[in-house]
Each structure stands twice: as structure tokens, then as C-alpha cells.
Structure 1
């Protein structure tokens, strides 16, 4: 347990831009229902039915993602950003996958302490994703998403101005006024409100300020194979500046500066185990867990 904890903490500290608060490494969680200080529930109780599920059925980055569906009475999971934000500009983003014929539902919350049910604070309207269209009853313009594909969702919240702006891939829903009940920004509620809700969330990241085009951009590159035997391949559209590999205790074990598109890294000298591979391309940097 101690090694897993260290891995999680170290993963959050690597590869983030200066304004980052966290990037959740879902690979460190066991499959099945999850209840942590970050992933809680609407009631604040570890009920099983409300909890998010860590699944290996779909994944954007690695082998695991968060799964939400209506089985067992419907999940009602809270992503707690780590305290109510009552000032400043903040960004929350993730990758999302909705199978064809399925739907999605979530909203952004105000105060979720001690639990969202006690506070009933809604920063946004109810955000629904049905048949390729994302709608927000808080007023945002409808946005189009692809079914059976991973796509980008993000929200920028100006708590000082009491506004928010939804973004889906490169499109924006326009600036909207926050809900009157919200005293600030505290998290997100992933809710399965009907039998068609069935979707996956991965690469969750939260930052102070506005995320730039390259911040947390996991789709800039991919690594394979994972697990790796001897050679780790990095597929990229532009040159990779640096690759630094750390063990689970945070010790640097390898660093190379390939300065090449889609380079390969020789890991044959490393022993079997889990490693954190930090890839830097220009001003963007991201860390991926790799097994050997």
C-alpha cells in the first residue's frame, strides 16, 4: 500500500504545467467501486451503488478509466477538487467516451463538503450528452461530440465573475452565468439518471487558470508497448525533446534527449517493475505509467 501511495503522489507531481493542481492517475486504483477523498459520492457515503467504477473496458491513457452507468440503481459520484474555490479562474478537463446508443449526464458543483446532498449547490445546469449532442440547461450552446470515440471536455470557471464556459474538443458553448445556489466551485457530479447512461472518463486534470492548447495534451503522443520488454516506442507528430524515467520512489533511472519524431527508448537495462515516463514536447509535459 505504501508503494502505491508513493506512486500516486509522485505521478501527480510530474508532468504538470506550473498552474496545475492535479492530474489523476487512474492506473493506481484497483478495478471496481472507488471511494477516496477525491472520488466521493452524492451522499458522502461509501454505498457501492453511488461510487464510480474503475474499469478496464475502455481507456484513453493506460488500461483504466472511470465508468458510469445505471446498473444497481444508478451511480451518483462526486469528483472533489480539494476544497471550495471562492475566487480566481479554474479549469477542469477530462477525456470522455460514450458508446453509440448510450448517453451521459453530469454537472459542476459548488460546495461538496461534507457532501453534495446536504449543500445542493449547482454551479452549472444539468449537462446531458445524447446522440452526439451535448446540451446544458444552464444556457450553453449545444455542442457536437463523436460517439464511440474519446473526445475532450473542459470547463473554465471564473469564480470572481460568477461565470463558466464549456468546451468540447475545439468548440465552445459560450460564457454562462453560474447557478444562484453555488457559493463557489467545488467539484463535479457524475450521475446516472436513466437506463441509457453509460460512459467512460479518463485523463482527469484540474488547474488554476486557463489550460493552454498544449497543457495536459495526452493526444500529442502515445507510448507502446505497455508492458514493455526492452524498447519503449513513442509515437508523436512532432519532435520529442526529452524522456525521463523514474522508479516508483521518485528516483530518476534514465534520461534521454531524442530531439526526434517518434523516437524509441532502450529500457533493457531496467529491472522489472512499474516506472513513470515523463515525456516533454516543447512546453508540454506529461507522465505516463509504464510496466516492464
Structure 2
């Protein structure tokens, strides 16, 4: 492996909560356990505490549902000393053939006032980057192996995006065959290679100087056997919520549930058993807020519930 592909600057601690499933699907909605306001600490997403007030769940605009993640432009001016701000996902475990899609809305700017926005996948256990895509003033730059020197990396200006409107970035990772393909919508913008890490354990959404307004929504990370359409076909609801003794699961795909896991607000797994009627006895749980991850053969979904 090339020694120039070390982890991107990690400005916050690595999460100890791990998402280990066939898909990671986040639209920052209330039924996923998110609330309006700072994302730092919500569902094991983390951000730099010094500027976390500028990184929020908002209902100002969204591409899917009611909420989205908002990286605000700091009216007080750029962060000093080339500062970087943003947020980091919970710990992930994805390898093999993997597809990432995310909806982005990036405000327009100029050379003097704009910030560079980066979407980064990386692997702390391997201590390497997996991929890095940068957006600046309508141009897209992808980090890839240099055409002139295979032992070096370089940013390739591979296309453009429309400012002030939603667009989809898609990245297809084929780790066994060492290829990565990058798309805007359905348009292939670069056929690249796996130049360092061979899995994905973190997603980072970073802004330099904090001077460009950015919205992020509808993040889907899935194995090749999955598709966004399949994930959309799986929907669950739980009732009653809040509950005292019993929690019931209903919705499309409820009959296909393989496993449920319940976590308290500290990320600790608590005991729970699903009976044949898709109901769960939660009478033994202490009062508080919990996250329940529901898994089927096709997808998984996390829902917040309250135990009274």
C-alpha cells in the first residue's frame, strides 16, 4: 500500500458504536431517532464541539422526508488557521462490493468566500483512506492514483455539479476487483481504483473554513446485493410509542424480520426477544429513550422508542 494514503485529519474521537448490517440508511428523520438541533451526540454521530452549533439537523430543506443535515455558513467569518468542521458517522463495517449514495445541496459562492466540501470514506483499522471527493465552486475533484506516477495520488477534476439545488453522488466500490466508480446521478464521472483501504468504517462530511452552506440527506450505504429500491420497500413502525410493557412492530416487511437489537442512549445493547406476533416485552427496561434496530434479509432500519 502507498504510504501517502493515511487517514484524513481526524478531528474527533472514533465512535465505539458499530453499525454492522447489510445497509446503513439515514435521512435524519424523527422516526430514525433524530431531533432538530445539533447533530453532535445524536445516534452516535459526532462533530467538533468547538463549532457543533453550526452542524445541525434542520427542516429548512430536504431531499427525502422532512429533515436533513445542515452545515451552516459561519457569519462571523472563516475558521482560523485553515480550520475544518463537519461531522462523522457511527462506526461502520462494509467490505466486498459496496454502493454509497448521498443527496447533496451546496450553495454557490466565489473564489474568495467559498469553502471546499469533502465527502470522505476511510478505514481507521487499516489506517488508510478509502475514497475522497471534493466539491468547490461547481467543480468536482476525486482523489485517485496519478496517471503519470502509480505510486502517487492526485486530485482529478472530473466534472461539475449544479449549485443551489439537490443532486445525487453515487460511489460503487468493488474491493475484490480493486475498482471504484463515481457517478453524479446516472452519469459516470470517473472509473478509478482502490488505492488504499479495502473497506469502509467511517464516513466524514467536512467543510474547510465553514463559509459555504451545505445540506446532506438520504445517505445509503449498502452491499451489492441490496438496492435503494429494496430498502425503500422495507418500512416499519412501532406502537404504542411511548410504551410501558409491550412494543409491537408492523409494516411492510414485518413478517420477514430476522433479528432485533435494542440499545440504550449509551449505545449498550439490552436484552430483547421478538415473539411470533412481532411484539417485544420491554417491561424489564428502565424508563428512557431506546434505539431498536430491525433486520430482515433485505435491509435494516433503526427506530427510536420511549419506555415509560
TM-score (norm 1): 0.57
Structure 1 CA distance for aligned equivalents of residues 208 and 129 of structure 2: 16
- What whole-Å deviation, never above 9, does each CA across 1:177-209 have from its counterpart, x for those lacking one? 2333x2532222111112433211011111101
Structure 2 CA distance for aligned equivalents of residues 156 and 66 of structure 1: 23
Structure 2 CA distance for aligned equivalents of residues 165 and 253 of structure 1: 35
**How far apart are residue 53 of structure 1 and its match?**
1.8
Gaps of 5+ in 2: 1-18, 145-154, 242-246, 253-298, 304-308
Does structure 1 retain, via aligned residues, the 8 Å contact 2:182–2:188?
yes
Q: What's the secondary structure of 1:75's corresponding residue?
A: strand
Q: What's the secondary structure of 2:208's corresponding residue?
A: coil
What residue is the counterpart of 2:87 in the other structure?
A: 77
Computing the radius of gyration from Cα coordinates, the structure with the larger value is 2
Aligned counterpart in structure 2 of residue 30 of structure 1, from 24, 28, 35: 35
Does structure 1 retain, via aligned residues, the 8 Å contact 2:38–2:57?
yes
Structure 2 CA distance for aligned equivalents of residues 141 and 77 of structure 1: 25
CA change 1:168–1:147 in 2 (3 A) is same
Structure 2 CA distance for aligned equivalents of residues 107 and 145 of structure 1: 14
What residue is the counterpart of 1:110 in the other structure?
A: 122
CA change 1:122–1:244 in 2 (3 A) is closer
Q: Give matches, 1:84-233, under 5 Å.
A: 85=94, 87-101=95-109, 104-112=116-124, 121-125=128-132, 127-138=133-144, 142-180=158-196, 182-209=197-224, 212=227, 214=229
**How far apart are residue 65 of structure 1 and its match?**
0.6
Does structure 2 retain, via aligned residues, the 8 Å contact 1:98–1:104?
no
CA change 1:92–1:48 in 2 (3 A) is farther
**How far apart are residue 143 of structure 1 and its match?**
2.5
Does structure 2 retain, via aligned residues, the 8 Å contact 1:39–1:78?
yes
Gaps of 5+ in 1: 1-11, 13-18, 114-118, 218-240, 255-284
- What whole-Å deviation, never above 9, does each CA across 1:137-175 have from its counterpart, x for those lacking one? 325561322222111111111122333111111111222
Task: Name the Cα RMSD after superposition.
Answer: 3.9
Structure 2 CA distance for aligned equivalents of residues 54 and 207 of structure 1: 23
Does structure 1 retain, via aligned residues, the 8 Å contact 2:139–2:157?
no
CA change 1:200–1:89 in 2 (3 A) is same
What residue is the counterpart of 2:62 in the other structure?
A: 59
TM-score (norm 2): 0.54
Does structure 2 retain, via aligned residues, the 8 Å contact 1:104–1:192?
yes
